[in-house]
Structure 1
């Protein structure tokens, strides 16, 4: 019996004895997947994350800030054995039951399947290709830790990344290592997240555990806007071309039915949070340029108004604090009046049109006062710059968007850490972009989940994360499979005896 086989049998026996499945989260970020798996009954035993602020957030929320669990690690420079030693989790092959995460898709570009199969025998084969290195190390971690289950999350484009179906390649390599794999596309809005976020999800099980893979049934219904159906169509383009025969492990996602509860809306998610009147704060001097630190408590002044808001305040282990410290917004003095004038769903072309109207109105007001501004003069350009954003309408059509209050938000991206214009608050009275805590709510992070660092790193952590409620739905499906595998093995002697009698 090989060391790996022995380790797998020990893990199965441990779960049959009632032990919690232990998770290693790679490319963990602040812990969106970890939070979902924790809520589904898994134990978060370790993580690897390169970004210092995100690693600190993960350690703070899942390991009380223990130094070994809070430090940033480079997966290309940290071997599985070294990680097991640092985290004091015992022998490498016996340390973890489930491995989750998703290497950045750039790591997969043009790394052919025949080459990937050489990883075990030729560990040095692709060090010349930095795009391949993260994927190689990911596979090396799977090989070393021999998890019973693997979950990979990534953007839909991995299904057709420059003509290459990365998800199929991942599945192919994992199946060569003794796993059964399937992958699909899931939208977070169908699983109670107030955000329309499409993601590729791959699940793999050791063949000793299961011979099929299933995905979670939706809990909510929404008619996705054309843009999101379009994203899915582009991602699934390979099904309609010559590589369709190469998508053996793709399965269609379970369908949402109209009888399900409606998707959680932006107002469902944010309506109970304290209002922030950006123009009033600016006028009083309370809102100024500079780093936004999480050191000014803002008490709740409303009761939870929806089941979702109640969940965000009462999530077990992450209950809401007495006051929020990360309900902070960007300093954007030029744009607050423009935000107030925009309509729900307006994007940058509409915003620019509103701004030009405001500019013309301002010039007319000055003219009424006897102040004439010569077109194209320095004064004219100075006034225009104080009202009208400078971006080219043709180049930035989707740069801005004012949210609808009665729909889930559009996808939160990592560039929230740079500008936040993609998510302008639906409440014109507040006239601002969303706060860090509001971004967390739209992503389904509970109010008791703390982000390390200042505003910009926190926004980036949220935008990069897997929505915890989507992760929880996937995790519950994995737990169900693991439990079913235990039940079958526990009952096998009884079934065999019954068949003999």
Structure 2
């Protein structure tokens, strides 16, 4: 049986990557960001070329020997057209439905996956967002998600968002999450969904990152399945960041080095991250000014002793911001002997919160290192710039976590007698 899936609010494809398997078929990705759509098209192209033993074409693109346009000339339009570059809104939904219907061709949709943009629910900047709450359409993007559930009536759905949604209050002052859950449960009165939710910490499931996110899972009543109870079986101990980066080259700020080191990768990297058939790419670090590099060295050195340096702790000559009593943790080093703190989209603006654990390297992490923390394979390429790549990585569901989520669903719902 083939499990057909629609991927909404796809971003750079972390959730999608995990749901790729011999048993699944991604019918469509719906995403508004053009850079992320290029990434999705490229990833679909990678799998097409790999299947047809033409991976050298993909490798030629990674090594800048052919252009993106030239690469796409080798890919059927049916593959490229899986990516629908549209903002999901009242205006565009009929167009998106029509597009998806052509791809489905009477096939049953078993699953809908996705995570609507989460900025409206985040506890960070909530005071500022409160001022524009009356006009913030992002609050109700989940209602568009529900329209897809009504239209395609899948067996299951999974929605990912920030844990701030648990405490977020609607315009009437009441918590929004119970309303969302109730709406999901009452979509179809003749064939209702059983809906549950839970905060999942990725680090408990073998991901080298302490990342807590809210997952809402729903499935049709006739499936005897408890997603979150079954998911406990997928718990695993994650590698440390130092282990994760072990086979990557030593670099300085502002450097590009797409060559693996001579050090052998750890088993986790060999199994989930590194692929010998493709070259390393996007291992590029940001350039920094002298002041930032001095701060990086202080912060990374203190981290080795288990200390987090606040901005107010820095020597006065290094304090360039007037507001010294707010954003005190604006500089933060990753703990190399444990898991990383959460990688978020802010990494696209600067790397101050993601200083490399190796003091000698004295820099923020590269695009590739950030991707590894999110468990993207090294052969995963993010379009269209360093900034866009960081943003897609920061917004993504860790791909290995998504793979475990997919396995949990396939094993629990579709392997039953």
What pairs with 1:315-326 in structure 2 (closer than 5 Å)? Answer: 319=275, 322-326=278-282
The aligned residue for residue 153 of structure 2 is 146
Aligned-residue offset at 1:419: 0.6
Contact 1:339/1:432 (<8 A) preserved: yes
Alignment-derived partner of residue 189 in structure 1: 203
Alpha-carbon distance change, 86 to 173 in structure 1, aligned in 2, over 3 angstroms: closer
| Distance verdict in 2 for CA 1:267–1:85, change over 3 Å | same
Q: Distance in 2 between matches of 1:218 and 1:332?
A: 44
Which residue of the other structure, out of 266, 270, 277, is the alignment partner of 2:252? 277
* Aligned equivalent of 2:340: 409
What is the 5 A alignment of 1:319-358?
A: 319=275, 322-334=278-290, 335-342=292-299, 343-344=302-303, 346-347=307-308, 349=310, 353-356=313-316
1:488-499 matched pairs, under 5 angstroms? none
Pairing partner for 2:41 from 59, 73, 82: 59
> What is aligned with 1:298?
258
Q: 1:249-260 counterparts in 2 under 5 A?
A: none
Q: Once the 2 structures are TM-superposed, how far is the Cα of residue 417 of structure 1 from its aligned partner? A: 0.4
Determine the C-alpha separation between the residues in 2 that align with 1:213 and 1:86: 27
| 2: CA distance, partners of 1:389 / 1:136 | 44
- For residue 106 of structure 1, report the CA deviation from its aligned partner: 5.9
Specify which of 145, 166, 174 is matched with residue 184 of structure 2: 174
Q: What are the superposed Cα offsets for residues 374-432 of structure 1, whole Å, 9 maximum, x if unpaired?
A: xxxxxxxxxx4xx4442633111221111111110000111100012111000001000
Q: For residues 257 and 115 of structure 2, what CA distance do their matches in structure 1 show?
A: 35
Matching residue of 1:267: 242
Q: Which consecutive residues of structure 2, in runs of 5 or more, have no partner in the other structure? A: 47-71, 73-78, 123-133
Partners of 1:181 and 1:149 in 2: how far apart?
10
**Partner in structure 2 of residue 217 of structure 1:** 232
After TM superposition, the structure 1 = structure 2 runs for residues 46-445 of structure 1, keeping only pairs within 5 Å, are: 46-64=28-46, 66-76=79-89, 77-79=91-93, 82-85=96-99, 88-91=102-105, 94-105=107-118, 130-131=137-138, 133-162=140-169, 164-176=174-186, 177=188, 178-210=192-224, 212-215=226-229, 216-217=231-232, 219-220=234-235, 262-278=237-253, 298-314=258-274, 319=275, 322-334=278-290, 335-342=292-299, 343-344=302-303, 346-347=307-308, 349=310, 353-356=313-316, 384=317, 387-390=318-321, 392-445=323-376
Sort the Cα spacing of 1:262 and 1:192 in 2 relative to 1 into closer, same or farther, 3 A.
closer
TM-score between the two structures when normalised by the length of structure 2:
0.78
**Per-residue CA shift, 1:264-309, capped at 9, x if unaligned?**
211121121111123xx6xxxxx5xxxxxxxx66221234431222
1:43 and 2:25 matched: yes
Q: Using structure 1 for the length normalisation, give the TM-score.
A: 0.66
Q: Displacement of 1:205 after TM fit?
A: 0.7
Deviation at 1:137?
Answer: 1.5
Q: CA deviation at 1:50?
A: 0.9
8 Å CA contact 1:320, 1:447 repeated in 2: no
CA distance in 2 between counterparts of 1:199 and 1:298 reads 32
The question of whether the paired residues in 2 share the 8 Å contact of 1:107 and 1:131 is answered with yes
The 1:312–1:403 alpha-carbon spacing in structure 2 relative to 1, beyond 3 Å, is: same
Q: Do the aligned partners of residues 484 and 410 (structure 1) sit closer, same or farther apart at CA in structure 2, a change above 3 Å counting?
A: same
Per-residue displacement from partner, 1:437-493 (whole Å, max 9, x unpaired)? 0000011111011101111010000000011122122211111222244x1xxxxxx
Shift in CA distance, 459/87, structure 1 to aligned 2, threshold 3 Å? farther
- Aligned counterparts of 2:121 and 2:241: Cα–Cα separation in 1: 34
- Classify the secondary structure of the residue corresponding to 1:55: helix
Task: Count residues in correspondence.
Answer: 361
Pick which of 81-90 and 41-50 moved more. 81-90
Is contact 1:312-1:441 (8 Å) kept? no
Supply the distance in 2 between the matched residues of 1:311 and 1:397 (Cα, whole angstroms).
Answer: 38
Greater C-alpha radius of gyration: 1
Change (3 A) 1:274 1:28: same
In structure 1, stretches of 5+ residues that fail to align are: 1-18, 110-126, 221-260, 282-286, 288-295, 357-383, 488-501
Alpha-carbon deviation of 1:88? 3.4
Larger displacement relative to structure 2 (100-109 or 325-334): 100-109
- Cα RMSD between the aligned structures? 2.8
Query: How far 1:347 sits from its partner (Å)?
Result: 4.1
- Judged with a 3 Å threshold, the aligned counterparts in structure 2 of structure 1 residues 158 and 407 are, in CA distance, closer, same or farther, namely same
Post-superposition Cα deviations, 1:300-343, rounded to whole Å, max 9, x if no partner, equal 123443122213444xxxx3565323011111122223322332
Q: Conserved in 1, the CA contact under 8 Å of 2:333 and 2:357?
A: yes
Counterpart secondary structure, 1:433: coil
Aligned equivalents of 2:320 and 2:282: distance in 1?
Answer: 27
